[in-house]
A and B are shown apart, each in its own frame.
Chain A
Amino acid sequence: MSTIQVQTPGLQTTVQDLGRNGFGPVGVSPSGAADPISLRLGNRLVGNDESAAGLEMMLLGGTFSFPDGTILALTGSDFGAMLDDVRLNVGASVEARPGQTLRLGPTNSGARCYLCVQGGIAVTPFLGSASTHILSGLGGFEGRALRKGDVLRIGSATKPFRKRTIAPEASEHLSRRNVMRVTGGPQVDWFSESSLRSFYAGTYRVAEQSNRMGLRLEGPAITQLGAGQMITEGVSLGAVQVPAGGSPIILFVEQQTTGGYPKIANVIAADLHRVGQLRPRDEIRFEEVTFDASRSLLMEQEKLLASRELILE
C-alpha cells in the first residue's frame, strides 16, 4: 500500500472529508473540511469520489514525500507548493514519481489548502467519516493534527494518470469574497434596530483566536435589547452568535452542537466554504439575503459543481 510520509506537518494539517452528520443527539458536530468545495474539486481532479479524505492545511503547509509515488492535486489557497523543484499551481492534477517531495509554504491567498491523492487518505473511520475533530481527539489520524514522522496510508488507486484542471470561470465563481451573505438568525428580534444597522454596515476583522470551532470577530459591538433569558438550544453551522461582550462569533465546522447565546444571523450555505478561507486579520462585512435568494444561490453553485465543463481534461 502506498504512503505519504510527513517530513514537516505545517501549522495545523488534518485529515478531513465531508464530515459526519447525524450525531447531534450525542453532542458530536459534523466537522469535515472547512472549505468543502475545494476538497470536492481536489478529489475530482485525481479521479476520486468527491467525499474521499484529503489533507487540510491551514496558513502554513507541510512537507510530504511519496515513497511509492502518487497522483495528487492541490486546491483552495495557494501555499507556494513545489514538487521537488517544479512549482505547482492549485487546481490541477499532477503525478508524483516515487521518492519525490512536495513542499508547501505560507499562504499566498486564503487560509486553507487541500492535498488530495488518488485513492484518498485511508484512516479508520469514526462514525462513518475520516474527519478529524481536534477538540475531542476523535476521527482522522489518531484524532489529531499531523506531526513530523507520521506515515499516512493511501487508499488503493488503479486509474491511470490524467491531466485535469479546474475551468477558470469556475475558479472565478468560487473565489474569495469579503462579503458574507447571511439570513436573519433565530434571535434577530433580541437586537435593537441600531445594533442591526451597525452589524450590517460595519466591517469586522477576523481575530487571531479563530479556529475550526469558531471565528471570533472584532468590530462594532452589538448590544442586546436585554429582556430575554436564553435557554440553551441547538446551533447551526455558520450561526453568528453574540455573547454578552458584543463581539460576534461565527460557529464553524467543529462547533459546539448547542449554545446559550442569541444568534443575530447565519451565513448562507453557499458561502460557508468562503468562511473556511478567512485568515486572521481578514476584514469582512455581512449582507442580508432572503431564504429564497440563499436557496437559489446554493442551487446555482451546486449546478456549477455538477457540470461537466467544470473539470477540463
Chain B
Amino acid sequence: MQRAASELARFQTASDQSLLVYFGRQITLGAHQRVRKLLGLLEREPIAGVRNLNPAYCSILVSFDALRLNHRGLEEILRGYIDRLDAMQIPTGRELQIPTCYGGEFGPDLGEVASLRGMTPDAVIELHASVTYIVYFLGFVPGFAYLGELPEALATPRLDSPRRSTPPGSVGIAGNQTGVYPFATPGGWRLIGRTPISMFRADREAMSFVSIGDRVRFTPISAAQFAATERG
C-alpha cells in the first residue's frame, strides 16, 4: 500500500516558536538522507516566517516567528515538502581527509580508550583511521561535525566529568560517534588525537571545513607533520 511520505514523519512541538520533525527514532542512513533532502528543499524554497533550521541525526528543528506562523500551519506546509522528498536527488558528499596526530599530548585519552576496549593504542589508531565516516550534521558549536559510524570496537562512553576546555582541533570519541572540536569549548568526549586543520573559519568562503553529507577519513600524521601543517 502506498503511503504519503509525510506519514513517515513525526511532528513534535519543541517550544512556542519551534517544531521538531522526526524521521524515525534511530540513527539510520535513510533518516539521514531525508534530513538532508528536507534541509536542501527548505533552503531552496524557504517558508516565510521560518527563522532557523537545526538538522541532526534523524530530525530537524524548525524555528519560526510565532507572530507569523503557528505549529499547525507550519506542520501542514512541511507535510507538503516532505511528500516531495522521494522524488528529490541530493548530491553525493565530497571525500575529505582530516590529517590527525594521534596520542601523546594531542590525544590524552588514547591510552584509556585502548585499555577500556582491550586493545593497543596503535590498534585504536589503525581502526579509527580505517573507516570512511559520514558527516551526519553540524551542530553544538560552529563547524562541529557529528561523524559516524564509529567501529563498534571503539565505542566508548563520555568522560564522567567533562573537561572545562578542549583544545581546538581535538579529535574525540563519544559512544559510537567521533568528531573534531573546532573551538576551545567544554567537552566530555574522549580525546584520541588532534588535527592542525581549522575546522571553522569565519574568513573562508565555506566557513566549515566539512558539510552535512560529506565523507571523511582521518589520516595519521606525525607531530612534525602536525607542526609543519600548522605553520603552513
Contacts and interface: CB of A to CB of B under 8 A. Distances in A.
Interface of A: 21-28, 30, 126, 133, 135-138, 183-186, 231-239, 256-259, 263, 266-269, 291, 294-295, 298-299, 302
A154 to B, nearest CB: 24
B139 A257 contact: yes
B134 interface: no
B127 interface: no
A256 B186 CA distance: 11
Given A25-B212, A27-B141, A183-B13, A233 B61 contact: yes
A95 B139 CA distance: 44
A27 B139 contact: yes
A245 to B, nearest CB: 11
A26 B66 contact: no
A25 B138 contact: yes
Contact of B16 (A22, A232, A258, A269): A269
B87 interface: no
Contacts of B208: 26-27
Nearest to A289: B16
Contact of A30 (B14, B52, B138, B144): B52
B56 interface: yes
Nearest to B185: A135
12 contacts: A21-B52, A26-B207, A28-B142, A138-B142, A184-B13, A186-B12, A186-B13, A232-B56, A234-B56, A259-B140, A266-B14, A267-B15
A186 B57 CA distance: 16
Contacts of B226: none
Contact of B56 (A133, A258, A267, A268): A258
Interface string B193-215: 00000001010000110001000
Given A27-B141, A126-B202, A257-B139, A234 B20 contact: yes
Contacts, number: 145
A256 B18 contact: no
Given A234-B18, A236-B15, 12 more contacts: A22-B52, A27-B208, A30-B52, A138-B202, A186-B14, A231-B26, A231-B58, A232-B57, A234-B61, A235-B54, A266-B14, A294-B16
B93 to A, nearest CB: 14
Nearest to A297: B16
A51 to B, nearest CB: 14
Given A232-B146, A295-B66, A258 B15 contact: no
Interface residues of B, number: 46
Contacts of A298: 16, 66-67
Max chain B CB contacts within 10 Å: which of A21, A231, A302?
A231
A184 B15 CA distance: 8
A266 B16 contact: yes
Contacts of A135: 141, 183, 185
Given A136-B183, A238-B15, A256 B140 contact: yes
Given A30-B52, A186-B12, A269-B17, A233 B144 contact: no
A233 B138 contact: no
A242 B59 CA distance: 20
Given A234-B139, A258-B56, A263 B14 contact: yes
B6 interface: no
Nearest to B144: A27
Given A25-B55, A136-B183, A138-B142, A231 B207 contact: no
A183 B71 CA distance: 13
A238 B16 CA distance: 10
B63 interface: yes
A142 to B, nearest CB: 12
B114 to A, nearest CB: 25
A259 B139 CA distance: 8
A35 B17 CA distance: 17
A267 to B, nearest CB: 8
A184 B63 CA distance: 16
A154 B194 CA distance: 41
Interface string B123-162: 0000000000000011111111010000000000000000
